[in-house]
Structure 1
Amino acid sequence: MSEAGGTLTVMEQRVSFITLAVADVARSRAFYVDGLGWRPIFEADEVLMLPVAERLILSLWSVEGFTAEIGEPPATGVAPLTLAHNLATEAEVDAVLAEAAALGAAVVPAQHRDWGGYSGYFADPDGFRWEIAMNPGDTGAFVLPPAD
């Protein structure tokens, strides 16, 4: 527990899991594991768990399992969120977007942004949007893997 502005808080400022409800776990596995080469930490018929950072798991859960757990089905349409993947160069951004396109993902081509970066987007098989970005500021450096 810590004190924040004179009040006692119990919940730490961190995220452990990002869970996305997907229509077909096998299709998501084909995209993320077989296509992008990501390695699962756990998988079963209804769920696929992918470590995406130290102590952070991306959980792809069947809509049925998701609904049974939380008590109501997920909203339909484009989710009002994006997941972001920062890279060091514009060439790396273009390469990841090309890889996603080759896997059948809908891609919004990268462009230079008003905030100084370079980014584009792709949608995974369930329409979740990934921003692929080169961010020149401190937040970009914060999420990049260490240099060799």
Structure 2
Amino acid sequence: MDQRISFVTLAVSDLDATRAFYLDGLGWVAALDVPGEVLMVQVGEHVVLSFWHEAGFEAEVGPIRRGPGLAPVTLAHNVATRAEVDAVLELARRAGADPVTDPVERDWGGVTGYFADPDGYHWEVAVNPGPIGQVVLP
């Protein structure tokens, strides 16, 4: 098996709110948009982020675990500078992200802040000055 990810699929409770947040708020472009079912966004040369309405997700994949707390996953958007971290977090704020945490300088030398989309999926916006951080920058 090749060492790669082709799709990341997230179950969402309100596909219209997800569409408004990512397309209208963040300015992303849909690669595939089937109202009431799925929204797909190409996020890398060979990577698609798929937002699947939870009813369809559960029908195919199985029951979603529900309860208090955060989903045990984060998504990350790495950038080259602290100013870009600030700009992305501000864009997320204007798009309606809640919560949004201010950037923090981390012990490992980077800077990170977080925002949550309408379903509570948390995105890390980060500058990672190490070699692995350079691997993910365009």
- TM-score range, shorter-chain basis? over 0.9
Greater displacement, 72-81 / 62-71 = 72-81
Are 1:129 and 2:119 counterparts?
A: no
2:26 corresponds to = 36
Larger Rg: 1
1:74 deviates by 4.2
1:78 deviates by 1.2
1:12 deviates by 1.7
Higher RCO (CA-CA < 8 Å; seq separation 6+): 2
Structure 1 residue runs without a partner (length 5+): 1-10
Are 1:113 and 2:103 counterparts?
A: no
- Kindly provide the CA deviation profile for residues 88-147 of structure 1, in whole angstroms up to 9, marking residues without a partner as x: 1000000100111112211011010011100100000000000000110112111111xx
Does the 8 Å contact 2:7/2:48 carry over to 1?
yes
Report the residue type matching 1:108 in the other structure. Answer: T
Q: Where does 1:53-72 land on structure 2 (aligned, <5 Å)?
A: 53-72=44-63
1:48 corresponds to = 39
Q: Percent identity?
A: 57
1:53 deviates by 0.6
Partners of 1:73 and 1:112 lie apart in 2 by 35
Partners of 2:48 and 2:129 lie apart in 1 by 26
1:13 corresponds to = 3
Aligned residue for 2:100, secondary structure, equals strand
Does the 8 Å contact 1:49/1:60 carry over to 2?
yes
> Normalising to structure 1: TM-score of the pair?
0.87
Aligned residue for 1:107, secondary structure, equals coil
2:93 corresponds to = 101
The RMSD of aligned alpha carbons is 1.1
Structure 2 residue runs without a partner (length 5+): none
Does the 8 Å contact 1:21/1:74 carry over to 2?
no
1:71 deviates by 2.5
Report the residue type matching 1:35 in the other structure. Answer: G
Number of aligned positions between the proteins: 135
Does the 8 Å contact 2:100/2:116 carry over to 1?
yes
Larger strand proportion, structure 1 or 2?
1
